[in-house]
Amino acid sequence: MKIKKFQARTFSEALSCVKKELGDDAVIISSEDRKGSRPYVEITAAVDYDVERYDSKSSAPLAAPPAGDLAELKNEIRTLRECIESMRNSGCEMTLPAERKKMFYFLREKSIRDDYALHLVERAKDIDDLEMLISEDMSRTKFFDSFRSSVWDMSDRYSKRIVMLIGPTGAGKTTTVAKLASKAVKEGRKAAIIGVDTFKIGAIEQIRIYSKMIGIPLDIVSDAQELKKSVKKFNDKDILLIDTTGQNPKDEQYIKNLKEIYKTGLPIETQLLMSVSSDGDFLMDTYKHYGALPVDYIAFTKTDEAVKLGSIYNLCRTYRKPVAYITTGQRVPGNIEFIDNRKLTNLILRTGSA
Ligand SMILES: Nc1nc2c(ncn2[C@@H]2O[C@H](COP(=O)(O)OP(=O)(O)O)[C@@H](O)[C@H]2O)c(=O)[nH]1
Ligand SMILES: [Mg+2]
């Protein structure tokens, strides 16, 4: 058994010193934040050796202690080993000082990934600080202020906006297209909807009803060339919203069909819709498949149904994509929020039990 103290500016620096000197088997016994003009983190780490093997390898064996002492020593080592093993099994948060451990558990409870949570609590002094850091991390994704100006501000580089919504089946694409179209109309824009039904599975009734309800034209197309013609036909519109039929993103043909659309050279803004009521791992996996497409924005749907919203932070942080908006219910029009990063952070931290 070897026990040693390590000091460094941050917890992860100290941890890497531990790993370097004592190896991956080292176990953190304690860690403390040392305050002062130059604050630092002090970690006490231990590494366990097999005493018997260590002695037998030694060229100058130790003199054997009396039998009773040896039994006691072995007993103590066993207890220590068990203690270390249980600490190892508890995970990285065991090494955090109490206040930070509390923040770590708070973030974990919101479904924020352990490694991201660890990095956050390392930088945060308190919960308020956490809020600011999360908000900052996400603001680096530019957020949807850019969306607001890009889609609704016609002085932007495109004279016309073509916005395509993609995402898994049931994510809320059709409903959201209707919400966006209603908003555009309400703001005095001329809008039209194009439904892309590449598999001709006929899932168009819903969008037909919405287009009638909003009072705007609808075109149903089945491939990229037809889409191009439709865009041309709607030349007089300010905004075209493209609804796609979601398929299993693991299906290569489906992604290939979508890719064909980009080959037309149309200036399409792509929004990937993800339902936050889905499992976090599913969302990460979904992004990996859709990431093969030029995704401009992520939009999170069904925030009203979600028990936890940490996956929003996880996705923003991993993929560094701006968030276009969130949707908050089934109602059309309405139930869509162009929420800013501060408010979104607040929502992430307040959703779920405290
Ligand atoms: N609770 C809730 N339900 C939603 C929301 N957005 C869509 N839905 C519902 O989710 C279901 C699937 O939506 P749909 O637009 O057909 O998904 P699509 O397959 O991606 O086109 C419908 O029952 C919608 O009413 C939302 O923000 N909150
Ligand atoms: Mg649909």
Instruction: Give the predicted TM-score (pTM) of the model.
Output: 0.74
Q: What is the structure's pLDDT at 75?
A: 79
Beta carbons of 28 and 43 less than 8 angstroms apart = yes
Query: Residue 320's CB: how many other CB atoms inside 10 A?
Result: 12
Lowest mean pLDDT among 80-84, 187-191, 195-199: 80-84
Residue with tokens 């558990």: 105
Q: By three-state DSSP, how is residue 103 classified?
A: helix
CB atoms within 10 A of CB 129: 14
| Tally of CB atoms within 10 A around 256 | 11
The residue among 224 and 160 whose pLDDT is bigger is: 224
Calculate how far, in angstroms, residue 19's C-alpha sits from the geometric centre of ligand 2: 51
Q: Say what the pLDDT of residue 51 is.
A: 45
For residue 61, pLDDT over 80 is answered with: no
Domains annotated on the chain, with CATH:
2-95 (no CATH), 142-350 (3.40.50.300)
Whether the CB of 333 sits within 6 Å of ligand 1: no
User: How high is the mean pLDDT of the chain?
Assistant: 83
Separation between Cα atoms, residue 20 and residue 40, nearest integer Å = 19
Q: Is the CB of 328 under 6 A from ligand 1?
A: yes
- Helical H segments across the chain, by residue range: 11-22, 51-57, 67-90, 98-109, 114-123, 127-139, 145-152, 173-186, 205-214, 224-233, 252-263, 280-290, 310-319, 341-350
| Tokens encoding 194 | 């194009």
> Is 178's C-beta closer than 6 angstroms to any atom of ligand 1?
no
- Across 90-99, 216-225, 270-279, 281-290, least confident range: 90-99
What pLDDT digit, counting tens, does each position of 43-53 carry? Answer: 888 887 654 44
Mean pLDDT across 145-153: 45
Neighbouring residues of 228: CB distance < 8 A, sequence distance ≥ 6: 264, 266
pLDDT (tens digit per residue) in 65-108: 677 778 888 877 877 776 666 555 555 555 678 888 889 999 99
Q: Using H for helix, E for strand and C for coil, what is the string for 135-146?
A: HHHHHCCCCCHH
pLDDT of residue 205: 86
Whether 177 has a pLDDT exceeding 90, the answer reads: yes
- What are the beta bridge partners of residue 28? 45
Q: Tell me: pLDDT of 1 over 70.
A: yes
pLDDT at 199: 64
For residue 5, give both structure tokens: 């103290």
The Å distance, Cα 306 to ligand 1 centre, comes to 13
Q: Mean pLDDT over residues 283-310, rounded?
A: 91
The pLDDT, as a whole number, for residue 41 is 85
